[in-house]
A and B are shown apart, each in its own frame.
Chain A
Amino acid sequence: MFTLLVALLIFSVVNYFISKASWRVGSIINALIGSYLIFQVFTIPKGTEVTIGKFLGETLALQWTNAGFYFSFVSLLVIVAVMFFAIKWLDSQKHPAAFNMFILMVTAGSLGVFMAKDLITLYIFWEIAVLSSMLIIPMGKKESRKAAVVYAVMSAVGTYMFLYGAFMIYSRYGTFSMPEIAKNLANDPSTSFKVAVVLLIAAAGIAKSGIFPLHTWLRIAHGNAPDAFSAVLSGQLVKLGSYVLMISVAVFPSLKIFANLKLYSGVPAPNYFLIALGAASIIIGTLMAIKQDDMKMLIAYSSVANGGYILVGIGTMDPLGFEGGVLHVFNHALAAAVIFMAFASVVYRTHTKKISELGGLIHKMPITYIAYLFAIISLAGIPPMSGFISKWMIYQALVRKGMFITAAIAFFGSIGSFLYVFRPLAGVFLGQLPRKYKDVKEVPPIMWIPMLVLVAISFVMGVWPFPILQPIENMRADFGIAPSFKIADAQNWLVRGFSGSWNPVIVFNLFITGFIVAYILYTLFPKPKKVDLLKPHKEEGAPINIYTSGEFIYTPELYHYNTKFYAGFERMYEKHPSWEKLLYMLAKFFHDVGEWIHGWFFRPSPSAYTFWLAMTILIIFWVRW
């Protein structure tokens, strides 16, 4: 395994030079490597352990676990899809060679994270993934420069809290190895230490998967990163955070560790805290996503909300909740990846990501539309796509635990997700086609095939979820979360819950029936007529054929029906407090302190220097004499 990672890292640099010669060759090689990796993750036997070497007197090691396999597989699905997508998409980019190099590094880093057996190995690969993704983000448009910095800083805040926690653990137990830590933590008498450590470790996950106090980077980073890379960011890198969150509550068995801290229906207090954060993320993510006009930022906020779902699910440490959360990782990864790739296709053709500037692309880009449609169905959690199953499991767990507020929030998020995923659908694909896009074509097959493949996987898993549920079952058994309870029951075609079971095949059949009925009705009813609104104004150009009581419209985009799409709803929380502003204020605060220090200590005249020298002497004198 280690050789694989090192080879990937080295080859990423080699690939830079290959790509310098011909970036297309480089990206094809990338895609092939990725495909090989997917094959590879299936061949590694579970439980394989590889020692990397000694660092600081501690052995660093990799371990191939069920969890690692699951997360690696999901990550690779997304990455490989993007890699194929990029073969064509890259010709709209300025730095294709660097993109090829860094995306391979991201792959290596993420795989390393999932393979890591101890916290330091995890940290090292984590930083590799962060570093390389941080260098891809600024390749986008102007704003993306700032996005990279925000991303790096937020990520660093979480990462260094993680590191602090890791070292606190080390100073107490003298080990970084996760199984050992889990054992030690379970027997540790000091509650405050355990709480502090677990939350510090979780901080990295919170920052990375965009959970509430550190969620703000998602909007700016997802929104401004190179379009296809947003798919990796949202579909894959964010899942690194979920993985770390899973470590902090499941690998370190929180039920055992906090056995005396059970707060409410068997959920330990720290988990409860995390669940609260997840719930907050769901609310914020949903509400903010509804407002966005920029389609990428919209889905970025939706990632916040979905990250919240995952955390809520995992945090319950309930068999159904845990599996639901973990399965949601898969669902959201695929859906978000497809959505971002669809957007990347749109941007590739139209060069804008403002919903209000688009419209009617369904006729020009039907395949992209189909992919997007199915992805949002999955994202919103509607059967028969796989997204439903995970949400269903999470609801089940919440209801069973009696966490009705959280459950209500989750339902609210689900309804909100209908609202926000519909906005791009209506604004981008439906409605009128702006005149300037009348020559837009569908993207080439190499770009839409990966999308369709992912959609198909999601679809199949919605109908027959057992192949993906089985590894999750294994994971749950590893972590010992009610191992006797069996959820995926492939023999009976059932996904078992506490209050009833779910037979995806039947549901699928029902849906198909419904769909067929609807289609028949659709063909029976008279068809809508098409009016070419552009016709009368063909010569005059820009303004679309819209008049308001005889006045000519100078700013047609204000009359695009997607402008203020949910204005009524948005007005309800117009003056909401902005967390993002608060964080910026914090950044501004440090900046101002810097200015103050600069102004007082570093800039001034020799007199001031003398003053500080004298003061230093005097203070030390006063302290010491």
Chain B
Amino acid sequence: MVFWISAILIGIGVYGLLTQKNLFKQLISLSIIDTAVNIFIIAVGYVDNGKAPIYSKAVPKFMEGAFVDPLPQALVLTAIVIGVGVLALGASLLVKVKEKHSSIDVENMKGVGE
């Protein structure tokens, strides 16, 4: 079910990329896709009734099925940060695109020949 949510979110993100002429919207769509992929990855590692993979006084022992899969979480941690880096880069590019082409709407941009 969480899979479905993430699949639909990816679809919405792709839809956004396809339809939106505003480059900022496209960046937002990308961010939605990122989030969706992250949800998917976490869902892959979920175990019913599993705990967060942190040892504490409450769960001092390792037991089978006691924890959810920690590896996807570690991957998502990385993926989130990577996503942020790329998005920040995109946002700063858009600031400059706006400066240079006087618009960030694909149809109104000036000087985008060829």
Binding site for B on A (CB under 8 A): 603, 605-607, 610-611, 614
Contact = CB atoms under 8 A, between A and B. Distances in A.
In the complex, which range does the number of interface residues on chain B fall in? 10 to 19
Given A607-B20, A607-B26, A614-B14, 8 more contacts: A605-B106, A606-B17, A607-B17, A607-B21, A610-B14, A610-B18, A611-B18, A614-B18
3 A-B pairs closest in CB distance: A610-B17, A605-B106, A607-B18
A614 B18 CA distance: 10
Nearest to B106: A605
A164 to B, nearest CB: 35
B92 to A, nearest CB: 16
B114 interface: yes
A603 B106 CA distance: 12
16 contacts: A603-B114, A605-B21, A605-B106, A606-B23, A607-B17, A607-B18, A607-B19, A607-B20, A607-B21, A607-B26, A607-B106, A610-B17, A610-B18, A611-B18, A614-B14, A614-B18
B23 to A, nearest CB: 7
Dominant SS at the B interface?
helix
Contacts of A607: 17-21, 26, 106
A239 B64 CA distance: 84
Nearest to A610: B17
A606 B14 CA distance: 11
Contacts of B19: 607
A322 to B, nearest CB: 56
Nearest to A608: B18
Nearest to B114: A603
A606 B21 CA distance: 9
A22 to B, nearest CB: 47
Nearest to B113: A603
A603 B112 CA distance: 10
A611 B17 CA distance: 8
Interface string B54-97: 00000000000000000000000000000000000000000000
Interface string B5-19: 000000000100111
Contacts of A605: 21, 106
Nearest to B29: A610
A568 B70 CA distance: 93
A610 B20 CA distance: 11
Contacts of A614: 14, 18
Nearest to A604: B106
B74 to A, nearest CB: 27
Nearest to A611: B18
Contacts of B20: 607
A611 B19 CA distance: 10
B4 to A, nearest CB: 18
Contacts of A610: 14, 17-18
Contact of B26 (A603, A606, A611): A606
Nearest to B23: A606
Contacts of B23: 606
A263 to B, nearest CB: 54
Interface in B1-58: 14, 17-21, 23, 26
Contacts of B106: 605, 607
Nearest to B27: A606
Contacts of B18: 607, 610-611, 614
Contacts of B21: 605, 607
A573 to B, nearest CB: 43
Nearest to B11: A614
B29 to A, nearest CB: 9
A320 to B, nearest CB: 61
Contacts of A603: 114
A3 to B, nearest CB: 52
Contacts of A611: 18
A330 to B, nearest CB: 53
A607 B20 CA distance: 7
Nearest to B13: A610
B2 to A, nearest CB: 22
Nearest to A605: B106
A606 B20 CA distance: 10
Nearest to A598: B114
A594 B12 CA distance: 33
B90 to A, nearest CB: 10
